[in-house]
Amino acid sequence: MCFKVTPDFEALREADWIAGAAHGVETRYVRRILNCFDESALEMALRLSDTLAGRGVTMGLDALSVGGGEAEPYLKTLYALGYERAARVRSEASLDFAPAVTASIIASYVRQVDHSDLVVLGCRSGPGDSGTVPFLVAEKLGWPCLTQVIEVEPLTDDRVRVACMVDDGLLRVTLRLPCVLAVGNAVVSRLRVPTLTDRLARRHKRIDVFSGADLGVDIARELRREPCVLAGLEAIHRARQGVIIGGETPREKARVLFDSHLKSILEKL
Amino acid sequence: MRSAAILDGTIGAATQQAQALGGFLREGLVGDLVGETLVFYHDECDKKRLVELAPTRAVRLIKTTARRPERMVEILTAVARSEGISLFLFAGGPAGTELATRLAYRTSGAVLTDALSIEVGPERLLCRKNVYSNHMVGRFELSARPWCVSIDACWKDGGSPTSLAHHILSGTDETGRIGTTPFEDLELVDPPSTGDLAESRFLVVAGYGAGNREGVERIAEAARRMGAAFGVSRPVAMNAWALMDRLIGVSGTRAAPALCIVVGASGAPALYWGIEKAAFIVAVDPDEQAPIVRNADAALLDDGVAIVEELAEIIAAEVLR
Amino acid sequence: MHLSREAIVEGLQRILEPENVITDEQVLRESSIDRYRLFEDIHGVYTQPIPAAVAMARSAQQVAEVLSFANEHGINVVPRTGHTATEGGLETAVADSIVLDGSGMNQILEIDTYNMQATCQCGVPLQVLEDRLREQGVTTGHSPQSKPLAQMGGLVATRSIGQFSTLYGGIEDMVVGLEAVFPDGTVTRIKNVPRRAAGPDIRHVVIGNEGALCYITEVTVKLFPYLPQNNIFLGYTLDNMKTGFEVLREVMVNGYKPSVARVYDPADAAFHFSHFAEEDECVLLFMAEGPAGIAKATAKGVEAIVARHPECRKVDSKFIATWFDDLNWGPDKIAQEREEIKQTGNICRTTEISAAWGSINDIYENAVRRIVDEIPDITMAGGHSSHSYINGTNMYFVYFYNVRDCEPEEEVTKYHVPINGIICGETLRFGGSIVHHHGMGKARTPWIKDEYQSSYYILETLKSAFDPHGIMNKGTIIPK
């Protein structure tokens, strides 16, 4: 299970969204949260494991985050929740707008360290919100991938039954492992909470920290070869106008409102 | 420079794709391109209709099997290699994201998803898309070709596709080399409904200023005549002037309509949160100081019931016909 | 003597317009509780007696008539405005109660920036009043976390306190005058004067009565200049709470009044400050505000005091400023919280107490240790101090637990009551108060006699004098 810890963008003030050079917005001062889709993925994995345990099958859960120390509290929590392995891959450079590099790292980790046959992650995450990492991981591993997954159930040893949102509805499909699942707006959206007793019991478990080099990924070189590059940021102006509509009678005012503003909006609906 | 828009007829949302692509090609794209549409279809599709929907005059028809994205990627990769197309354009959505990403990877091109607009340069493609959870717009430069771009969902609200005189360049049948699929037992169902309020595109909200149950009912009726969904603020629901399932805001529904008219509600945080994602907000309230007035796009300082009833008449006559 | 539900409704409909007497099933269910029974509410379980009606009063006169009616027939009345109470104070503890709701009395009556007073009806949300005041360059100085939703009547009835209390005081320091209606229908008005010594301060009979003595219909509060441009934030990390309390004490004893002075223990700090505090670190933070000279001098004074404790490491003020901006309980946080509780079965509860400087650390350490040792399924136990005085401070215990192996309606008795028992027990042992600012409600009444001891005589005599028929919010403050 791959997850990303991001700044809580909703906790930034209006004034902090400063458009500037391509190095991004200052988010150092806000608290960190789990990407919401990744959170769903982490909990769905636990439920998958619970279901299998009920059938007498053990499913090992490994967690990976591409990031720095901000992921550590979450990795510790995942150990407390019963994850077998919790690791992170550090990078000197920011990989915020580098989905191809992130995918490289994940794929290398899976091939060399993890050897899982099911990779689950959120369908997209900020700040880039590209939604491409799951498919890039799938391409590198040569595995099928489904996105906007909202439900997963284990079927047999090598098959899962998945529900996912597609362009024209809800698709239920059986998928053979190995595969990549990218979680979307799942109903299951919150990670369960470990007790203090659980935390104490797993306090000794080590969090593995890898560098790109450990996994055979030259991060700096791959960043230079990234074909899609952030060139700048623009603010979005959302302040509402508060235009007062004039008129003598309700009928007049309604007429002015309709002609000046509503007609064009309604025609598009 | 050549471009290709992909119209995926193997999934059921062809009209929306065509509208989005058409709108984007007309208004979201700056640059000199010779365009064509690649129309994918399978046996059960209405081929003629798909061609009519195509957003460019030039059309290539490609027959394939339903719901086999990996097959479509293979076909597109071959097209990319043989035809020298610089830009592939996909409608936004899960399918478009997958195709754009995989195609870019296989051809060593560049991918950008959910584009708001693009500008074609001789060497680079300049793209704009929402980043930071829609708090900012990012400008991106794509260098390696082919550029594989999927377009943002906001283009789905574009107008109806204009009718063109289409010209079919080629038609191929790719159903022969299908191979095995990792997907089994496919079952397509209607997506679970989250209720008329959450999904509403046009919403009227009545607040405490409606005065009494009768006022609320008159506003509800006007909403119905306008073809709008109807919600209420918490004081109205707690007064039992309307049912609790109409509640907008805290412990009720959060809506994101294109148009929201708030009648007789001061716009205190509890309610406003439920509608703040609306694209256009109209406030009807006699109090110029009410927070809703400055947090709306347009405001009418008048009695809410009379205004919405007049508005309902106009809309019923001139829009809904 | 006892009227049927229908007769109660009819009686109310003769006093109020019929549309202001609400008998909708779901509204009545939700009106039988407050946040104390949040877990039940989220699961759609309502164990308290369902009220006969919610009566929306529009004037003090209507409040008087409803109370007289209830008084005559012995009907329990629960006064309510913003519905954000957390201690069960709004629970309809007896069958067929009337919930008397004043949220419709929502007019700001006067803003007087010369005499620095604002008057409003009981149903004005504090956020609405504050927004209006700030436009004119003034503020109430009152900023509880419930600000977006809480209303003036309830804020006074519960002796609420806000985030900037170390400078501005609690609501009791802000109220100038008020209007309150008593069970026999008497409408009383206490006029607005800066101070008087014309007998005991009778405002304090009303402030904090939690609807057990009277119904507050109008409030006048002091105004202060609004000078956010002078705000200075200070933040530090350190490795133990004892030093943290010591620093707070020194700041107060040396005569400084930062508007905010807090120390968070590691467990509580982990929720808020993990982006700059290590796992086992406490966080100490201050905000100085007011006229520029005072804000600067306060900040300087605080910094000098902290510097005397080398184990405190300074952090970038921007961390504190950013955190402060996102603190209040708006509708999105409340909606998110409901979702989280429903999905994870994990719920957060709080209990706030106060004590002298010499006792607070012992109370904190003992209570947290005992909670962790004695209560099952605890996922977090800790807290912070956020309101300091020259002679002591508060401790806001924060604790989370997974609700396991019990029905929704058993959550309170399985977890919350025993935890309150531990916290209140330790507090009483060291001579502190079992309630700092959330109100006694019904949740902590088991300990009220220990809290008051011999002075309970004053409290129960007030109750029997003003509410001889026992119709005002039965079970709140005075146990049933």
C127 contact residues in B (CB cutoff 8 A): 268-269
pLDDT above 90 for A19? no
* pLDDT band, very low/low/confident/very high, at B193 (cuts 50, 70, 90): low
Subunits that touch chain A (at least 3 Cβ pairs < 8 angstroms)? B, C
Q: What is the pLDDT of residue B251?
A: 58
Domain-ending residue, one of C161, C192, C225: C225
* Whether A157 and A200 share a structural domain: yes
Subunits that touch chain C (at least 3 Cβ pairs < 8 angstroms)? A, B
Name residues whose C-beta falls within 8 Å of residue C212's C-beta, 6 or more positions apart in sequence.
C463, C467, C472, C473, C476, C477, C478
pLDDT above 70 for B154? yes
Q: What is the pLDDT of residue B213?
A: 85
pLDDT above 70 for A123? yes
Q: In this structure, are residues C442 and C36 in contact, taking their beta carbons and an 8 Å threshold? A: yes
Closest alpha carbon to C23 in C45, C48, C56, C47: C56
Domain-ending residue, one of C103, C131, C163: C103
CA atoms within a 13 Å half-sphere pointing along the CA-CB vector of A219: 22
Q: What is the pLDDT of residue C451?
A: 98
Q: In this structure, are residues C67 and C185 in contact, taking their beta carbons and an 8 Å threshold? A: yes
Check CB contact under 8 Å for C402 and A12. Answer: no
A261 contact residues in B (CB cutoff 8 A): 280, 282, 297-298
| CA dihedral of residues B48, B52, B56, B59 (deg, nearest 10) | 10
| Diameter over CA atoms, chain B | 70
B270 contact residues in C (CB cutoff 8 A): 148-149, 331
Residue at A229 is within a domain: no
Q: What is the pLDDT of residue B302?
A: 86
Residue at A255 is within a domain: yes
Residue at C208 is within a domain: yes
* Whether A257 and A133 share a structural domain: no
Nearest CB among C27, C103, C131 relative to B291 is that of: C131
Residue at A137 is within a domain: yes
Nearest-Cα distance to chain C for A19, in Å, is 19
User: Regarding the domain delimited by B2-173, which CATH topology (the fold level of the hierarchy) does it fall under?
Assistant: Rossmann fold (3.40.50)
Q: Which residues of chain C have pLDDT under 50?
A: none
Nearest CB among A30, A70, A193 relative to C400 is that of: A193
C402 contact residues in A (CB cutoff 8 A): 192-193, 195
B177 in helix, strand or coil?
Answer: coil
Please tell me the total count of domains within chain C: 3
* Whether C163 and C78 share a structural domain: no
Q: In this structure, are residues C395 and C383 in contact, taking their beta carbons and an 8 Å threshold? A: yes
C211 in helix, strand or coil?
Answer: coil
* Whether C188 and C175 share a structural domain: yes
Nearest-Cα distance to chain B for C204, in Å, is 31
* Whether C288 and C308 share a structural domain: yes
Nearest-Cα distance to chain B for C43, in Å, is 13
**Least confident window among A2-6, B266-270, C289-293, C438-442:** B266-270
B window 236-265, beta carbon within 8 A of A: 258-259
Higher-confidence residue: B7 or B250? B7
If 0-12 CB within 10 Å is exposed, 13-18 middle and 19+ buried, where does residue B42 land? middle
Check CB contact under 8 Å for B237 and C27. Answer: yes
Which of 2.60.40.2470, 3.40.50.720, 3.40.1020.10, 3.40.50.1220 is the CATH number of B196-320?
A: 3.40.50.1220
Residue at C43 is within a domain: yes
Q: What is the pLDDT of residue A199?
A: 96
Residue at C429 is within a domain: no
Taking only the tens place, the pLDDT of each residue in C232-261 is 999 999 999 999 999 999 999 999 999 999
Joined together, the tokens standing for residue C298 give 């306060």
Domain-ending residue, one of C225, C255, C271: C225
Nearest CB among B140, B190, B201 relative to A230 is that of: B140
Average pLDDT, chain A: 91
Nearest-Cα distance to chain B for A113, in Å, is 24
* Whether C126 and C220 share a structural domain: yes
Closest alpha carbon to C70 in C470, C478, C479, C475: C470
- The residue range of the domain holding C58 is 5-103
Distance of CA A138 to the CA centre of its chain: 15
Check CB contact under 8 Å for B268 and C104. Answer: no
* pLDDT band, very low/low/confident/very high, at B293 (cuts 50, 70, 90): confident
Q: In this structure, are residues A228 and B149 in contact, taking their beta carbons and an 8 Å threshold? A: no
Residue at A234 is within a domain: no
Let me know the angle formed at the C-alpha of B239 by B238 and B241, rounded to the nearest 5 degrees. 110
- The residue range of the domain holding A251 is 242-269
Joined together, the tokens standing for residue C464 give 């029997």
* Whether A10 and A138 share a structural domain: yes
Residue at A50 is within a domain: yes
Distance CA B271, CA C341 (A): 22
Joined together, the tokens standing for residue A165 give 């949102």
Joined together, the tokens standing for residue C170 give 């609690």
CATH of residue A175's domain is 3.40.50.620
A5 contact residues in C (CB cutoff 8 A): none
Check CB contact under 8 Å for A192 and C378. Answer: no
Q: What is the pLDDT of residue B287?
A: 80
Residue at A232 is within a domain: no
B237 contact residues in C (CB cutoff 8 A): 27
Nearest CB among C275, C316, C381 relative to A31 is that of: C275
Query: Where in the sequence of chain B do the CATH 3.40.50.620 domains occur?
Result: 2-173
Taking only the tens place, the pLDDT of each residue in A69-106 is 999 999 999 999 999 999 999 999 999 999 999 999 99
Is residue C111 less than 8 Å (CB to CB) from chain A?
Answer: no
Closest alpha carbon to C265 in C276, C280, C278: C280
Q: What is the pLDDT of residue C285?
A: 97
Name residues whose C-beta falls within 8 Å of residue B55's C-beta, 6 or more positions apart in sequence.
B5, B7, B18, B21, B22, B25, B37, B161, B164
pLDDT above 70 for A20? no
- The helix or strand, by DSSP H or E, that contains position C41, with its residue range, turns out to be helix C38-42
Evaluate the omega torsion of the peptide bond into residue C310 and state whether it is cis, within 30 degrees of 0. Answer: no
Point out which residues pair with B148 in neighbouring strands. Answer: B88, B111
Q: In this structure, are residues C81 and C128 in contact, taking their beta carbons and an 8 Å threshold? A: no
Q: Minimal Cα distance from C128: which residue of B?
A: B268
C window 15-44, beta carbon within 8 A of A: none
Count of C-beta atoms within a 10 Å radius of residue C125 = 25
Is residue C425 less than 8 Å (CB to CB) from chain B?
Answer: no
pLDDT above 70 for B5? yes
* Whether A125 and A176 share a structural domain: yes
Q: What is the pLDDT of residue B303?
A: 81
Q: What is the pLDDT of residue B238?
A: 73
* pLDDT band, very low/low/confident/very high, at B83 (cuts 50, 70, 90): confident
CATH of residue C280's domain is 3.30.70.3450
* Whether C284 and C221 share a structural domain: no
Point out which residues pair with C180 in neighbouring strands. Answer: C188, C216
- The structure tokens 């919010």 sit at C473
Name residues whose C-beta falls within 8 Å of residue B198's C-beta, 6 or more positions apart in sequence.
B253, B254, B255
Please tell me the total count of domains within chain A: 2
Residue at A140 is within a domain: yes
Taking only the tens place, the pLDDT of each residue in B304-319 is 899 999 999 999 998 8
Q: In this structure, are residues C200 and C117 in contact, taking their beta carbons and an 8 Å threshold? A: no
* Whether A167 and A250 share a structural domain: no
ipTM: 0.91
Check CB contact under 8 Å for B186 and A172. Answer: yes
* pLDDT band, very low/low/confident/very high, at B235 (cuts 50, 70, 90): confident
Closest alpha carbon to A146 in A106, A108, A119: A119
Average pLDDT, chain B: 88
